[in-house]
Chain A
Amino acid sequence: MLYPISVPKPNHAEDVIGFINVEGRVIVRPKYMGGSYFFEGKASVVDEDGKSGFIDCDGNLALPCHFRGLGKFKDGLCSIGGGFINHSGAWVIKPRFAVASHFSEGRAFASLDGEAFGFIDLSGEFAISPRFEQCSVFSHGLAAVYCDGCWGYIDHSGEVRIPFVFEGSSARRFRYGLAGVQIDGRWGFVDESGGFVIKPQYDNVKDFSEGYAAVQRDQKWGVIDIEGNLAVDFQFDDLGEFTGGTASAEIEGNAGFVLPTGTWVIRPEFKKCYRFYGRLAVVRLGDVYKYIRRDGSAVWTSESGAMVQAPPVPL
């Protein structure tokens, strides 16, 4: 796997994008106008004409640049331009949507007008008609959907499994059998039957990952396990999801990485830390950013003022 790097373009506000390997050696010299992280062996790149294609792990152009945007492959498909392509670049579902998520459990949420969302199957037809204002992808057989000011959960056939009783800007997807939801201004976690397993008591929560979830109270973040027990007291100003045993954490303006015990594994000596993606993570320090290993050592450092190449949100 390669990692995108950015180099400021002389006398411009934009950067050009190249790629390094895990040792920090430049494999693709900075020449693209945009570049993504790798998904299923491909990373999307934007050429100087603004069209996007995909490179392989050797940095060679695997799919020529005739798409738009930085697509991400998942389960063999990539949502791009309102349709879906496979790893050969062929359209599996031709573009006809204004918005289309990636597929999960054979369903992707999609919209023809950007306002009414439903779920399509792998043939590209709506299996659940567009009638929701927002959706999340399926996990554990359930998807959060938003309608008339409330969130609920539906199954693959569109039948309501957990009633529309939750509020807020989002209802989280199920992880480890639990989903974060907000009710009466407080966040808790429900199981697949809709019953609260962890009572609404937090100001904010993040998804469970590797058996732990970040929860916020009085502006500070702590960690709970799937039983709802407090594993790390509320002490962080920000706390990410655990990936590979560590999570990014910030305290008093300094960021590093912590274990699920709350112990610093990489000292908080950075301005901002992003999650580990494979073996490397991006950290910001002053006006540069670095790729670091899990032991905290840097493998590559950007030029001053370069645009940070942050990892994408988990699919």
Chain B
Amino acid sequence: MSSVEGRVLSPDRYNAMLIRQNMEAGGLPEPAAASFFNEFLSNPQKWNQYVYVRNNPLGLTDPTGAAPAEGHHLITGQQALTSPLAQEFTNTIKTGPLSGNGFPNQPGFNTIHRAYNAAVEDILQTVEQTAGDRNTWSVSQWKSVASQILNSEDPAIKEFLDELEANNAGAKAALAAAISSYRVSASVAVRVAASAIVDDLAGFMRMPLMIVVDPKVTQSTIKEQVKKSHPNCLIDRNTGNCWT
């Protein structure tokens, strides 16, 4: 018996045939069970449940163990960016969900990922020497830098992206297409406006005499801000004062 047959036929909780039989026995419509089984057969990477995120090395994580969620971002360090344009651009230039060989968050994977991150940061810093802070770059400047990274001959970047392409044919083309097709979305303006509203409310709540547990302002975001700004306090409902 091959390992594939063993996986499909073995009586464990991941056995697709048994799951289908149980689905039908449980009263679910036969088409639903068939759909599950066909989808299972269509993706052999799912047959071995010891594989992490479909053997995807580059960019996928699977915090719940259920399924890979996201592709690889070409430009790293998004969380440091302050400009709404920079945030959106770097979050947009990514591949789709990936598959392939590799072991996310394992020593071997971390080594090439760290080298990639460092090399990308070197390029960004070099451009900043003449173009200024990356948070002030225009759309065309970001596109130019992104193309420079995608086509870089730096060994760390090239090795990482070549590995990505080897396991996910078309990944580089997808990144190139994402760069060339990028346009600032209307959501940038919406997000900017929304953050102003939230932060105005947060500033209001930071005023000591105004920290009152008022039913009118008990939205989850407000309560969270109160917790963060006074992590060790209990708040008197009558006076609004903090009890440390």
| Residues of chain A whose beta carbon lies under 8 Å from any beta carbon of chain B | 8, 11-13, 33-34, 36, 46, 50, 52, 64-71, 79-83, 89-91, 94-102, 109, 111-115, 117, 133-134, 136-137, 169-170, 172, 206, 305, 307-308, 310, 312-313, 315
Is A70 within 8 A of B80, CB to CB? yes
Give Cα A127–Cα B115 distance, bound, in whole angstroms: 44
Collect the chain A residues with CB atoms within 8 Å of residue B6's CB: none
Is A46 within 8 A of B189, CB to CB? no
Give Cα A114–Cα B114 distance, bound, in whole angstroms: 30
Closest 3 CB pairs of A and B: A69-B82, A13-B113, A95-B192
Is A169 within 8 A of B192, CB to CB? no
Is B111 within 8 A of A305, CB to CB? yes
Collect the chain A residues with CB atoms within 8 Å of residue B141's CB: 134
Is B138 within 8 A of A134, CB to CB? yes
Collect the chain A residues with CB atoms within 8 Å of residue B188's CB: 82, 98, 114
Is A33 within 8 A of B196, CB to CB? no
Chain A proximity of B154: nearest CB distance (Å): 14
| Residues of chain B whose beta carbon lies under 8 Å from any beta carbon of chain A | 77, 79-87, 105-107, 109-111, 113-114, 117-118, 121, 125, 128-133, 135-142, 184, 188-189, 192-193, 195-196, 198-200, 202-203, 206, 225, 228-229
- Dominant secondary structure of chain A at its interface with chain B: loop
- Closest Cβ neighbor of B200 among chain A residues: A91
Is B189 within 8 A of A112, CB to CB? yes
Give Cα A34–Cα B117 distance, bound, in whole angstroms: 14
- Dominant secondary structure of chain B at its interface with chain A: helix
- Closest Cβ neighbor of A13 among chain B residues: B113
Known: A33-B79, A66-B202, A133-B138. A13 touches B110 (CB 8 A): yes
Is A66 within 8 A of B184, CB to CB? no
Collect the chain A residues with CB atoms within 8 Å of residue B138's CB: 99, 111, 114-115, 117, 133-134
Collect the chain B residues with CB atoms within 8 Å of residue A64's CB: 202, 206, 225, 228-229
Is B199 within 8 A of A100, CB to CB? no
Is A100 within 8 A of B228, CB to CB? no
Besides A69-B80, A99-B84, A310-B121, 7 other CB < 8 A contacts?
A11-B107, A64-B229, A82-B188, A82-B192, A95-B195, A98-B184, A100-B136
- Closest Cβ neighbor of A169 among chain B residues: B130
Collect the chain B residues with CB atoms within 8 Å of residue A90's CB: 203
Chain A proximity of B16: nearest CB distance (Å): 31
Known: A13-B105, A308-B118. A206 touches B229 (CB 8 A): no
Chain A proximity of B135: nearest CB distance (Å): 7
Q: Which of B125, B129, B136, B140 is the one whose CB lies under 8 Å from A109?
A: B136
8 A-B contact pairs sorted by A residue (CB < 8 Å): A8-B114, A69-B83, A70-B80, A70-B81, A70-B82, A81-B192, A94-B200, A133-B140
Chain B proximity of A277: nearest CB distance (Å): 14
Is A307 within 8 A of B130, CB to CB? no
Collect the chain B residues with CB atoms within 8 Å of residue A111's CB: 85, 138
Collect the chain A residues with CB atoms within 8 Å of residue B129's CB: 206, 313
